[in-house]
A and B are shown apart, each in its own frame.
Chain A
Amino acid sequence: MGWFDYRRSVRAIRDDTGRLLLMAAGVAFPTLVIGALAVVAAPELRGTDPGFSMNQVVRGTFAMLWVFAVFMLAQRTTAGHSKPVADAFVLTTVSPRTAVVGGIIAETLRTMTYALPLGLLIASIGVYTFGSPVLLLAVPLVGGLYVASAVTTGRVLGYSAAWLVATVPFVARHKGVLGGTVVMLFFGIYFLFQTPQLPFSISQATLGVIPTGWVADLLVIGTPIGWSSTHALGGVVTVGVLLVGGSWLAERISASFWFDEPITVSDTDAASPTRIVDDQRALERAISPLGIPFITGPTRHTAEWSLLRTRREPQRLNVLLIPVFGGGAALLNVVLQGISPLAILGPASAVLLGWVAGAAFGLNPLGDEGAVLPATLTAVSSRAFVRGQLVPSLLFAPVVAVVTLVAALVGGYGLPSAIALTLIGCLLTVVGAALAPLIGMWLPRYSAIRIGNSDGVRPPRLLAGTLHVVLVWLPGAALVGLVATPELVRTALSGIGYVPGVVLGLVADGGVLTTLASSLIDAGETIQGLPLSAFRSGFSMLLVSGGLLVALVAYRGAVRRFEGHELH
């Protein structure tokens, strides 16, 4: 069952080129970085005694990565694997134990496939550096134990979360907020361990007490690196206990969750009818106290429905947390460079909030319709539909404006700069809102992801989200940079021409390439030589008018896509 499930998912990924490319990039990047480091360091270390023994810091780092993997795998379990695929068939054909263990095997195989290039590289580096062929056995063995124990533990936690959503009314009602809080807490704590530069960070050695990190000792058997047999044995025993005990526990939890009817939490019942009350329409009443001002007709209905859907399924917004945390990490790095945290609040609010408002509603408009898509296509005009996707985002522009203005003023910016940042936040909301439907229609996700007891959540595709982030964040960062640190933006922009020019100049040997290199260098130098005020106003105008033009083109593109969308 595990093998069948694994093959099915591999086939699905192979058919989704965008996802495959992103996953490949995710694997290739660390593999290349470690490979590059190995090329430099391995020849130096080869045949020498490093005079190093496994310690709590190394074990703690292993444990920290294991905990991170458990968290991500638990999230995957809750979001997409809380029930087996074709559960009605599986649960009437095999025992829950088989279904659970099959799921664990499939997930372990998927994770190991993902980690295979890196594992092979590490094993090869180890063999080359220490001349120990034992590593060819140790790396896959330890990798397998490490991954399988993380998957099993992740399944236990993921099933537990899904069980809580299915059985506890409070959790079911507030699953979006609770899920978001758990994610934020986890990453907050994780940063404390991962970023030792912070004054209140915690040493990774603290996590060395977690015995799953002790399997690191097994990795260095046969090499000159010192290892502890007690820790190695302890690690193996712990992993064994986790595999057996975790499987048993996962079976108990999942069986209860799979075979019991989940509770239903609804904010509509006979006591509070959704029908017309005091001439208020059902949708109007359902989204109150929010409302859609000024707009009428089909656009208003589409916008109201978009808001209501998000309100009743807030977990669809969880996908926004990933870029927000990515942005948060980048900001943290900026703070670590010595810049005042308050000074980045205004620019950060303009970019992050502007983007969130733009991305929250329309990034998967066709997929969000699900089975309703044929009815929607035959009921509403393309303009009304696309405008209806934009309106909810635009409603949040005043919120973006107020928060950005306050944040900028608190951050020490003068009133003109604060107003400029506020306008940038509003502009990014408009551009983000206009881009979202086009990107979402271009890269739709039609398959639902199960979250808790909900079957209908279709978050945007990862590639769509990434593209939207890039298209909003990069120009947005340049714009806020022009307000906060225009010199930095000028230097960065000149570097875009200058650096490739210099690199090209090094490899070029006369001819066209040399001319191109010198042109690039000239362009970089010209940008750097521009007077700051001229650069600031000129580049700002370019970005703002470019943004508005992109918004208009994106809106029209989305209208055309909806108009021309065919069902196959």
Chain B
Amino acid sequence: MTDRSAIFAEGLTKRYGDTTAVADLHLAIPSGTVYGFLGPNGAGKTTTMRLLTGLTRPTRGTGSVAGVSITDRDNLRTQIGYLPEEPPLYDQATAYEQLEYAAGLRDLPAEATRDRIETLLDELDLTADADTRIGEYSKGMRQKTAYIQAVLHEPTVVFLDEPTSGLDPRAARTLREMITDLADAGTTVFLSTHVLPVVEEIADTVGILYDGELVAEGAPAALEHRAETGETRSLEDAFLELTTDERSIGDETEDETSPADSATQSVAEENTDG
């Protein structure tokens, strides 16, 4: 894969003093796909997203999003949408004011923006509350508003950090469908979440980050397949096996293939087959 990928990273590393938050990350995510980004707390997921959105500069390595270098924040802005874990909203504004403001910052045409805001508010069942201050919103309503803000300008690549957090089951389903629709329309979705069923359902590829390193990457089905035994496990089991300090258990049981290797290997096999 080359840097024509929607998201590309080569040796991306971020250090804070002696601590390495992200180490030598290589990514090549094709356009129009959903990339599920998993990892335990503190693994470096947020730092990775900040690196890819230009909010943090890498200590080493390069990367691009939609063909724009991740250090070129000015041009990156037009290509990306970002929903951080904490919804980036002003409590003092109404949802409508907030969304109109976000569109104004990107200098979107007013007429088309109004229609799009109305459509997205309607899809996420927020129309009736659009004139209420966000400070009075529930967590789910805030999350929905923040999601609309992230995709309002129809970005080429959208980064979503825990987008279904705080949503009721109906809203969560609607959002999952909207994310799938986004990818179908050609938008690349970089989805970080702890809700594994969501990843299982909508991600084309899953990457697992542990201790700043990408320890596995592949289709959900490939990660669920244990190459060394031929067994199938759940994504949750795969995640737990790949993200413990006892990854070397395999060595102790005379199995020389680590889970990370097996996952990567199974993906490689799948790609070769394909």
Q: Does B10 contact A (CB under 8 A)?
A: no
Closest chain B residue to A270, Cβ basis: B131
The verdict on B76 contacting chain A, using a C-beta distance below 8 Å, is yes
Q: A301-B101, A377-B73 are in contact. Are A372 and B55 (CB under 8 A)?
A: no
Pick from A308, A374, A454, A567: contact of B93, CB below 8 A: A308
Task: For the complex, give the distance between the alpha carbons of A568 and B81 in Å.
Answer: 19
A305 vs B101: C-alpha distance in the bound complex, in angstroms? 7
A454 and B135 alpha carbons, distance in the complex (Å): 9
Looking at the complex, which of B36-44, B84-92, B180-188, B209-217 is the stretch in contact with chain A?
B84-92
CB distance from A77 to the nearest CB of B (A): 22
Q: Which of A56-64, A261-269, A436-444 contacts B (4 or more CB under 8 A)?
A: A261-269
Residues of A within 8 A of B101 (CB): 283, 301, 304-305
A299-313 vs B, Cβ < 8 Å mask (1 yes, 0 no): 011101100110011
B101 to chain A, nearest CB (A): 5
Which B residues lie within 8 Å of A379 (CB)?
A: 77, 102, 105-106
CB atoms of A281 and B77 under 8 A apart: no
Contact B132 A268 (CB under 8 A): yes
A378-B76 contact in complex given A273-B131, A301-B105, C-beta closer than 8 Å: yes
Question: How far does the alpha carbon of A304 sit from the alpha carbon of B100 in the complex, in Å?
Answer: 11
Determine whether B176 belongs to the interface, using a CB cutoff of 8 Å to chain A.
no
Q: Is B97 touching A371 in the complex (CB atoms < 8 A)?
A: no
Contact across chains for B55 and A282 when beta carbons are under 8 A apart: no
A87 contacts which chain B residues (CB < 8 A)?
none
How far does the Cβ of B134 sit from chain A's closest Cβ, in whole Å?
Answer: 10
The answer to whether B248 has its CB under 8 Å from any CB of chain A is no
- Looking at A266, A302, A304, A379, the one whose CB has the most chain B CB atoms below 10 A away is A379
A568 contacts B16, CB within 8 Å? Answer: yes
Q: Which of B47-76 contact A (CB under 8 A)?
A: 50, 53-57, 73-74, 76
* Residue in A274, A282, A378, A568 whose CB lies within 8 Å of B80: A378
Q: How far is the CB of B69 from chain A (nearest CB, A)?
A: 14
Known contacts A274-B94, A309-B90; is A566 also within 8 Å of B56 by CB? yes
| Inter-subunit contact A308/B55 (CB<8 Å) | no
Enumerate 28 A-B pairs (CB-CB under 8 Å) in ascending A order. A270-B128, A273-B96, A274-B96, A274-B130, A275-B130, A297-B107, A298-B104, A298-B107, A301-B104, A301-B105, A305-B93, A308-B93, A309-B92, A371-B84, A374-B53, A374-B88, A377-B54, A378-B76, A378-B82, A379-B102, A456-B90, A456-B92, A456-B135, A563-B73, A563-B74, A566-B55, A567-B50, A567-B56
Q: Which A residues lie at the B interface, using CB under 8 A?
A: 264, 266, 268-270, 272-276, 281-283, 286, 297-298, 300-302, 304-305, 308-309, 312-313, 370-382, 384, 454-456, 563, 566-568
Q: Known pairs A297-B107, A568-B16. 7 more at Cβ < 8 A? A: A269-B132, A273-B96, A275-B96, A283-B101, A370-B90, A377-B73, A563-B73
Instruction: Report which B residues bind A (CB closer than 8 A).
Output: 16, 50, 53-57, 73-74, 76-77, 80-82, 84, 86-94, 96-97, 100-102, 104-107, 110, 114, 128, 130-133, 135-136, 146, 149-150
